[in-house]
Structure 1
Amino acid sequence: MRTMLEQMVHLADRGPVALARIVDATGPGPREPGAAMVVTADGEVLGSLSGGCIEAAVVESAREVLANGHAVSDRFGYAEADGFAVGLTCGGEIEVFVERVDDTRLSVLSALRAAIAAGEPVALAATLAAVPDWKLLRLGDSEPWHGVDRDARALLAAGRSGVIGSDECETVQAPRPRVFVQTFAAPARMILAGANDFVRALARIGRQLGYRITVVDARETFATPARFPSAHEVVVDWPDRYLSAEHAAGRIDGRTVVCVLTHDTKFDVPMLVAALGIESIGFIGALGSRRTHSERVARLRTAGVTDDQLARVKSPLGLDLNAHTPDETAISIAAQILAERGGGSARPLALTDGPIHR
């Protein structure tokens, strides 16, 4: 949708168009959620949702939507390449939501275009209803919206698009309609210093959570893409030098997670000094026992780190799950990151009161 936003503003100002977007995808598929196609009243088609497998069916839905104004949701699954059924030959399944867009949406579309141009993280939320309700979301927003505003902002903070809420109708008991949140922001980053089994396990879980994973280690023998297949990038460099360069380039923000998992003071102390010197980093953690952390704190103080800065370091890293293996440890670390990011208590839900989704 980002690539055709300018055209949509121009077209919607002239007359209604049908906007078709992939809102959900399972398994292998040609496009990700948020991929869009626009159909005009005179039959012009902009963009695509697949390699041609489903476009004709979506165009037919778009004509109906333009005629009656009611949005529709179509789900396409696997279909044989030489068969008659409309579907995907890649084996996946997608849901396509088609809605009417006219000049009543211009203010939201224009604001979205301005935010993207300014480099501001922003998301467009739309209820998946016959008459969709739109909301432009920013990270600092706090205004309630259909009971899903918190979940929507969590997707925005992670740089992810997806469906939240349920298929149930809005009621007093469950005011959470099904909503598609399309995020226009780079994914949050997770920078992992080290090249060991703990890094490999955390990289895998971090990627599943939607983070862009960077593994950085100065040892060329260990820092290879083959050893860390879940990482988006594996960098051979001194971790502190890499982090400082990324900060200077403007690629570090309040959503960034930095975890030092090196078990080597010549790597972890300089890396923590560099990380603590960047106030915008959202989470800084360091793996190690209590004894290791106590010794590390002494070295950090010698390096000039203040008590206020030391308070930002999460170490020993992870929640108390009695974890032993790298995978178990990675789960405990990921759980702590989620709790910190979302303001959770990390206590068992059975021991808490009030709503589970706050």
Structure 2
Amino acid sequence: MRAMLEQLIALVGRGPVAMARVVDTTGPGPRETGAAMIVTADGEVFGSLSGGCVEAAVVESARQVLATGNAVTDRFGYSDGDGLAVGLTCGGEIEVFVEPVPKERLAVLTALQARIAAGDPVALATRLDTSAEWQLIRPGTADAWHGVDRDARALLDAGRSGIVGADECEADSSPRPRVFVHVFATPARMILAGANDFVRALSRTGRQLGYRVTVVDARETFATAARFPSAHEVVVDWPHRYLRTEHEAGRIDGRTVVCVLTHDTKFDVPMIAAALSIDDIAFVGALGSRRTHAERTERLRAAGVTESRLARLKSPLGLDLNAHTPDETAISIAAQILAERGGGSARPLERLNGPIHR
């Protein structure tokens, strides 16, 4: 939708149009969540959702939407290329939301365009029902909206689009509508120092959570893309040097997570010291036993790291899940990151009172 926003504003200015967006995907698919197609009242079509395999059906839905003024949801799954059913030959599934966009929504669209042009993170939240109600979501705001505003801001903070809601809001027992949060922001970063099985497992988990994952290690033999297929990038460099370069280039922000999993003093002490020296980093953690943590802390002090900065270090890293395998350890680390960044207690919900969605 980002690439078509200017065109959408121009078309809406001339009359109502229907906009179709991919709001959910499962398995392989031709387009990512947020891909958009526009259909005008004159039958003009702009954009693509699937490379041609479902477009005709979506265009027909768009005509109905323009005629009735009510949004609709289409779902497409696998279809044999030789069959007659409309569907995806790639084997995946997509959910497409088709909604009318009248002139009354120009104010929201222009505000969205302005924030994107300014480089400010923003999200367009859309109720996935016949009303297709819109709301702009911005970081740092506390505007309540159908009980999903907190979840929407969490997606915005992570830099990834997704669906929230569709359950009860404990505050007043009213249902929370199903809402697509279309995020216009870069994903939060997860930088993993090391090149071992724990890094491989955490890179998978981090990517599933929507992070842009970077694995960095100075050993060229171990730091290869083939060994870390879930990472967005694998960098051969000394971790602390890479982190400082990224910070100087302005590619580190208040959402960045750094986890040191090297188990090697010559790597982890400089990397932890560098990470703790950057105030913007949201989370700094280091894997290791309590003995390793104690010895490492003394080395950090000797390297000049102050007590106030040491207090930011999460080590030993992870929640107490009695984890043993790399995959289990990755879950315990990810759970701690979620709890720390979201203000959660990390306690079982059954032992807590009050709303689940706070």
State the TM-score bracket (shorter-chain normalisation): over 0.9
Contact 2:148 2:176 in 1 (8 A): yes
Pairing 1:142–2:155 present = no
Matched AA of 1:55: E
Pairing 1:22–2:22 present = yes
Alpha-carbon distance in structure 2 between the residues aligned to 1:106 and 1:299 = 58
Listed one character per residue, the Cα deviations across residues 191-223 of structure 1 (whole Å, up to 9, x for unaligned) are 000111111111111111111111000011111
Provide the residue aligned with 1:75 in structure 2. Answer: 75
Provide the residue aligned with 1:280 in structure 2. Answer: 280
Listed one character per residue, the Cα deviations across residues 96-124 of structure 1 (whole Å, up to 9, x for unaligned) are 11111122111111111111111111111
Listed one character per residue, the Cα deviations across residues 139-198 of structure 1 (whole Å, up to 9, x for unaligned) are 1111111001111111111111111111889x9523310100111111111100011111
Alpha-carbon distance in structure 2 between the residues aligned to 1:167 and 1:261 = 38
Mind listing any 5+ residue stretches in structure 2 that lack a counterpart?
none
Alpha-carbon distance in structure 2 between the residues aligned to 1:132 and 1:327 = 40
Alpha-carbon distance in structure 1 between the residues aligned to 2:245 and 2:62 = 48
Alpha-carbon distance in structure 1 between the residues aligned to 2:25 and 2:200 = 26
Alpha-carbon distance in structure 2 between the residues aligned to 1:167 and 1:66 = 30
Pairing 1:192–2:192 present = yes
Pairing 1:309–2:309 present = yes
> How many positions carry a matched residue from both structures?
358
Provide the residue aligned with 1:268 in structure 2. Answer: 268
Contact 2:19 2:101 in 1 (8 A): yes
Written as runs of structure 1 = structure 2, the 5 A alignment for 1:1-358 is 1-166=1-166, 172-358=172-358
Provide the TM-score with structure 1 as the length reference.
Answer: 0.97
Instruction: State the 1:347 CA deviation.
Output: 0.7
SS in 1 for 2:226: helix
Instruction: State the 1:297 CA deviation.
Output: 1.4
SS in 1 for 2:152: helix
Alpha-carbon distance in structure 2 between the residues aligned to 1:168 and 1:56 = 36
Alpha-carbon distance in structure 2 between the residues aligned to 1:43 and 1:223 = 52
Alpha-carbon distance in structure 2 between the residues aligned to 1:285 and 1:108 = 40
Alpha-carbon distance in structure 1 between the residues aligned to 2:311 and 2:108 = 41
Task: After the TM superposition, list the runs of 4 or more consecutive aligned residues in structure 1 that deviate by more than 6 angstroms.
Answer: none
Listed one character per residue, the Cα deviations across residues 66-101 of structure 1 (whole Å, up to 9, x for unaligned) are 112111111111112122211111111111111111
Alpha-carbon distance in structure 2 between the residues aligned to 1:157 and 1:123 = 10
Alpha-carbon distance in structure 2 between the residues aligned to 1:212 and 1:220 = 21
Matched AA of 2:209: L
Alpha-carbon distance in structure 1 between the residues aligned to 2:172 and 2:270 = 53
SS in 1 for 2:320: coil
Listed one character per residue, the Cα deviations across residues 270-312 of structure 1 (whole Å, up to 9, x for unaligned) are 1111111111111000111112111111111122211111111
Instruction: State the 1:134 CA deviation.
Output: 0.6
| Structure 1 stretch displaced more, 42-51 or 324-333 | 324-333
Matched AA of 1:156: L
| Structure 1 stretch displaced more, 280-289 or 295-304 | 295-304
Contact 2:72 2:97 in 1 (8 A): yes
Contact 2:166 2:175 in 1 (8 A): no
Matched AA of 1:303: A
Pick closer, same or farther for the CA change 1:167–1:292 going to 2, 3 Å: closer
Alpha-carbon distance in structure 2 between the residues aligned to 1:97 and 1:315 = 44
Matched AA of 1:145: W
What is the aligned-residue identity percentage?
A: 77
Provide the TM-score with structure 2 as the length reference.
Answer: 0.97
RMSD: 1.6
| Structure 1 stretch displaced more, 100-109 or 232-241 | 100-109
SS in 2 for 1:70: coil
Contact 2:30 2:50 in 1 (8 A): yes
Alpha-carbon distance in structure 2 between the residues aligned to 1:48 and 1:22 = 10
Instruction: State the 1:58 CA deviation.
Output: 0.8
Alpha-carbon distance in structure 2 between the residues aligned to 1:297 and 1:209 = 30
